[in-house]
Structure 1
């Protein structure tokens, strides 16, 4: 199971530099992930979700404004889905385009890719399906029910703070 235990640069804990982080767009985050490798739409969605979740947890503010909904296959940002849905199950090609993103935001993207990038879309889907933010947003729904329920930021912070703290104690 992939976990992010510590986000540090030059010995400085990123939780201590909360004020230096600024909001970017989900499109920029997706473009940044696509500079690392080609990937399916499902994998891209989940990596963007984990970037959002870890940024929110560590900095106590969102990486971007778009919210994730608890879809059948895990957290999905609807606008990102619309942008890349034409690829279906095929890989979105790797990109060499420039990405405009504040350094701290790119650090989160990079660390999320280092921690989760080796997993495929199905493995990332499974991972999100056993985590409380997605489970809570789908509470009371049938397994195959369509949902537009948003994942709750407070639940995300609470869950990943616990994961972070447990990882620090291992």
Structure 2
């Protein structure tokens, strides 16, 4: 499986719909998390996710789109060619999480082990740059996987 830039993965999701930066962060996180669980390999080759107060965030992606604030990032035209395994993964993430709001995705990540473990001992709302472990992603999402 080929690896991609976080911006290539983000652009793929933005080719599906316009969305807020927070929703885009969570979708790219789930793509990375499920790649670790299903393929035991990172999808994203240039970013790690940190356990921020509002859920998993890749700082470079955050800085790219922070000027949008709570507003929608416009839909993009995707012309990047992805390998079929990656496309299957991205489509599965989109089908599973794409209809949820940014706040629903935030609440979901807050209920899941990888983010909670990375924030262990921190008060609610505290800032953190603690990395979310790829091993924790792999173990947790594999444990809840019930697909084919």
Q: How many residues align?
A: 147
Q: Is the 8 A contact 1:70 1:134 kept in 2?
A: yes
Give the Cα–Cα distance (whole angstroms) in 2 for the partners of residues 48 and 115 of structure 1: 13
Instruction: State the partner residue of 1:140.
Output: 121
Instruction: State the partner residue of 1:152.
Output: 133
C-alpha RMSD over aligned residues = 1.3
Give the Cα–Cα distance (whole angstroms) in 1 for the partners of residues 101 and 68 of structure 2: 16
Deviation at residue 168 of structure 1 after TM alignment = 5.0
- Which of these two proteins has the greater Rg computed from alpha carbons? 1
Instruction: State the partner residue of 1:119.
Output: 100
Gaps of 5+ in 1: 1-20
Q: TM-score, normalised by structure 2?
A: 0.95
Instruction: State the partner residue of 2:35.
Output: 55
Instruction: State the partner residue of 2:83.
Output: 102
Instruction: State the partner residue of 1:25.
Output: 5
1:40 is matched with which residue: 20, 27, 30?
A: 20
Secondary structure at 2:42's aligned position in 1? coil
Instruction: State the partner residue of 1:5.
Output: none
Instruction: State the partner residue of 1:74.
Output: 55
Q: TM-score, normalised by structure 1?
A: 0.83
Deviation at residue 116 of structure 1 after TM alignment = 0.4
1:87-98 to structure 2, matched below 5 A, reads: 87-98=68-79
Deviation at residue 100 of structure 1 after TM alignment = 3.4
Q: Could you list the structure 1 runs, at least 4 aligned residues long, displaced by more than 6 angstroms after superposition.
A: none
Gaps of 5+ in 2: none
